[in-house]
Amino acid sequence: MNSLFSPENLPPPPGIPIPASIAAATATTSASPAPTITPKLEPFDGWFNTHTSQEQQQSQDPNFSNGSLDLDLNLLCDGTSEDPNLFSEFNRISQLFCTAFSANDPQNDAVPDPITEGLQQLRNDAFSDPFAENPQHFQNGVVSGTGLQQTPKGTSPDPDSRAIVPVPEEERSSSMTASTTPRRRCKELVRVADLGAPEQRHFRDVVRRTRKVYDALRVLATVEDERRVDSRRGRSDLRASAVMRSCGLWLNRDKRIVGSIPGVCVGDVFLYRMELCVVGLHGHPQAGIDYLPGSMSSNGEPIATSVIVSGGYEDDVDEGDVITYSGHGGQDKHSRQVCHQKLEGGNLAMERSKHYGIEVRVIRGVRYEGAASATGKLYVYDGLYTIIDCWFDVGKSGFGVFKYKLCRIDGQAKMGSMIMKEAHMLKKDPLSIKPMCCVSLDISNRVENVGVRLFNDLDRNFDPLRYEYLVKTNFPQMVFHQSGRGTGCDCVDGCVEGCFCAMKNGGEFPYNQSGVLLRGKPLVFECGPFCHCPPHCRNRVTQKGIKNRLEVFRSRETGWGVRSLDLIQAGGFICEYTGVVLTRDQAEILSMNGDSLIYPNRFTARWAEWGDLSMIDSNYVRPSYPSIPPLDFALDVSRMRNVACYVSHSSTPNVLVQFVLYDHNNLMFPHLMLFAMENIPPMRELSLDYGVPDEFSGKLSISN
């Protein structure tokens, strides 16, 4: 995989700076209809330090044109630029906007004033419907040329007014033939709605596969950084997204989707901003407002599609279902408001979305302990909001700020950020929410590193308390006797490249320094009792026990289920699937009594999906070393079990089974270790593919 991240295979990075001379020239040139746009910058994890001429060409991409950390906001906003009319132009537009939204002010109705009437006329020219005077463009509530539906003024709202329709090709061609200006590259605004269950599963599977590839590339990039002899380390998230972009694996790039993104669910968690770009949830890697610019719109008007709320602006007010969102621009590199904002770019796009009644996606940047990014944040998709009001106001710093009131649309799933807050409260105080439903704070009786909570708010079933908790699998003594003489590494301060244990794993370690599984394998060898390396060795991950706060809960759909109060990152270790090991003869005798057994050889090989880079590399070969013989034993969990026995069955699981050996060398009796196949948000149910579910309930009877 080293070649995937080589410089010749990486496209130039987005977010390049715009030189001051070019910015000033762009602002003063009358021939260019599009003004220089300063994005709403959000706290970011840093960016590339090198800039080339190819990067300047890439900046023409509207999805990356405003992603630079080095934009000189003072040059554009404080009136000190080479063009003395720039600041006066800002004042003129600001006054127009302020006048436009103060029409209901009683003071305006007192005495007619020539100046007020002149501003009102300018307001009508600037904010009136561009198609109101052209009836031929307006038929049956459809505005041709915009891709939007709108209700005519003075009529009742059309129930389908929020629909987005494609622009007829003949109208586009006729309008272009009548104009002498060059044809612009346009993107079509679409809304995906009324999907059936098969379509929803399809799109969800596409998004999950794409995110698996992204996570696998990102984890492999961290290993390359660990091997660097110098202190310079690249951004693994940027490198992974660049490789996927060069391979054409970014989703939803040909069209701009308004509303929900197919396959992305409310509550999905993203560790990096670039991952939002990869799935098409938010197109700008840094700007807080994502929009279709007027230069690519069929009617020249920008439309906002999504916003990120992360507390980067002091005038933002986040009340959950209602958000007062401040516009972009006017901040210095320390996120301080230093000049007035302008009605352009994302600010104008938000106003236009409010005008047309277009909803926006809201992603919240949440500070999270243990987050992978340098800012300590992760990003949660919280659903769709409508912009119900917008106005120009004086911010806390004394400068003019555009503000927008967003209200969450009813009928959506619970906000993921709210679920994360509740999970955080439960970690601090397990009895803070529904204390009467908390049956036990720790069903493991303190044998696990962290307590395993038992929660039931449906009935009085307390079956998990009837079993003895088994923290590790109970192997028969003959397994250790038949494993031969134990061998291990001679490493003193942790395993190093080329040691004996690395050779057993095919010449590379199965985990990175953070304990994340790099790729699934038929079998993983961890350091064991015969190794000289210390307990903190990077090759001792699963034998250290669970580290996430797991909870067994009662579910209407699955009987019993398991979820975590912590975020489980993709490739992270969860727990071992424990039980009492039985040979084939013992299992046949026990199964005659009707007891349920777990057969490891029936688990589907989901381990092959984690780290699968066949979409990136056509020569990718599924790992086949180390190989193991067919497993011929069963796990009896009828009396002794652990939390893993309550994980539900699913044909699209988020957890995989990885076979691991560490305390013996018998290949026929490995440990069953569970790893996350994707980023699993707090309070989301864990699921496994058991291979052969019960024919009546659709899952193993052991979990009912």
pLDDT at 571: 95
Q: Quick one: pLDDT band at residue 485, thresholds 50, 70, 90?
A: low
| Residue 385: Cβ-neighbour burial (10 angstroms; 0-12, 13-18, 19+) | buried
pLDDT at 488: 86
pLDDT at 67: 32
Q: How many helices (H) and strands (E) does the chain have?
A: 14, 28
User: What are 327-360's pLDDT values in tens digits?
Assistant: 888 878 777 888 888 898 899 999 999 999 999 9
CA dihedral 558, 561, 567, 573 (to 10 degrees): -110
Instruction: List all residues 6 or more positions away from 468 whose beta carbon is below 8 Å from its beta carbon.
Output: 639, 640, 641
pLDDT at 59: 38
Higher local confidence (pLDDT), 330 or 114: 330
Determine the average pLDDT of the residues in 394-410. Answer: 91
Q: Quick one: pLDDT band at residue 169, thresholds 50, 70, 90?
A: very low
Q: From CA 383, how far away is CA 22, in angstroms rounded?
A: 38
Residue 219 above 70 pLDDT? yes
Task: For the beta carbon of residue 549, count every other beta carbon within 10 angstroms.
Answer: 20
Determine the average pLDDT of the residues in 662-681. Answer: 94
Q: From CA 415, how far away is CA 695, in angstroms rounded?
A: 35
pLDDT at 29: 36
SS3 124: helix
pLDDT at 158: 42
pLDDT at 593: 59
pLDDT at 333: 77
User: What are 422-478's pLDDT values in tens digits?
Assistant: 999 999 999 999 999 999 999 999 999 999 999 999 999 999 999 999 999 999 988
Most confident by average pLDDT, 22-26, 391-395, 412-416, 625-629: 412-416
Residue 699 above 90 pLDDT? no
Residue 103 above 90 pLDDT? no
Give pTM, 2 decimals.
Answer: 0.75
Instruction: Let me know: does 380 contact 424? Beta carbons within 8 Å.
Output: no
Report percent pLDDT > 70 for the chain.
Answer: 69
Determine the average pLDDT of the residues in 688-702. Answer: 58
Residue 98 above 90 pLDDT? no
Residue 35 above 50 pLDDT? no
Higher local confidence (pLDDT), 7 or 383: 383
Report percent pLDDT > 90 for the chain.
Answer: 48
Determine the average pLDDT of the residues in 536-550. Answer: 94
pLDDT at 703: 45
Instruction: Let me know: does 549 contact 563? Beta carbons within 8 Å.
Output: no
Instruction: List all residues 6 or more positions away from 148 whose beta carbon is below 8 Å from its beta carbon.
Output: 164, 165, 189, 303, 356, 358
**Of the candidate ranges 95-109, 141-155, 528-542, the one whose mean pLDDT is the lowest:** 141-155
pLDDT at 701: 45
Most confident by average pLDDT, 15-19, 490-494, 516-520, 594-598: 516-520
Task: For the beta carbon of residue 121, count every other beta carbon within 10 angstroms.
Answer: 10
pLDDT at 501: 92
Q: From CA 283, how far away is CA 251, in angstroms rounded?
A: 10
Most confident by average pLDDT, 35-44, 480-489, 654-663: 654-663
pLDDT at 692: 65
Higher local confidence (pLDDT), 58 or 92: 92
Instruction: Let me know: does 554 contact 455? Beta carbons within 8 Å.
Output: yes
Instruction: List all residues 6 or more positions away from 498 whose beta carbon is below 8 Å from its beta carbon.
Output: 507
In the Cβ-directed half-sphere of 467, how many Cα atoms lie within 13 Å?
Answer: 21
Mean pLDDT of the chain: 76
Q: Quick one: pLDDT band at residue 243, thresholds 50, 70, 90?
A: very high
Pick from 518, 50, 489, 33: nearest CA to 301 = 33
User: What are 297-314's pLDDT values in tens digits?
Assistant: 777 889 999 999 987 778
Determine the average pLDDT of the residues in 597-610. Answer: 92
User: What are 642-659's pLDDT values in tens digits?
Assistant: 999 999 999 999 999 999
Higher local confidence (pLDDT), 686 or 185: 686
Residue 87 above 60 pLDDT? no
Q: Quick one: pLDDT band at residue 589, thresholds 50, 70, 90?
A: confident
Q: Quick one: pLDDT band at residue 365, thresholds 50, 70, 90?
A: very high
Pick from 261, 348, 273, 257: nearest CA to 310 = 273
Residue 105 above 50 pLDDT? no
pLDDT at 557: 86
User: What are 628-641's pLDDT values in tens digits?
Assistant: 888 989 999 988 99
Higher local confidence (pLDDT), 208 or 703: 208
- b/e for 635-670, b at 16 or more Cβ within 10 A? bbbbebbbbbbbbbbbeebbbbbbbbbbbbbbbebb
Residue 375 above 80 pLDDT? no
Determine the average pLDDT of the residues in 26-37. Answer: 37
User: What are 509-536's pLDDT values in tens digits?
Assistant: 999 999 999 999 999 999 999 899 999 9
Higher local confidence (pLDDT), 232 or 557: 557
pLDDT at 91: 53
pLDDT at 229: 65
Q: From CA 365, how far away is CA 378, in angstroms rounded?
A: 6
Higher local confidence (pLDDT), 599 or 189: 599
pLDDT at 93: 52
pLDDT at 230: 65
> Structural domains in the chain?
190-427 (2.30.280.10), 434-688 (2.170.270.10)
Q: Quick one: pLDDT band at residue 497, thresholds 50, 70, 90?
A: confident
Higher local confidence (pLDDT), 33 or 226: 226
Angle (nearest 5°) at CA 176 between 172 and 177: 120
pLDDT at 613: 93
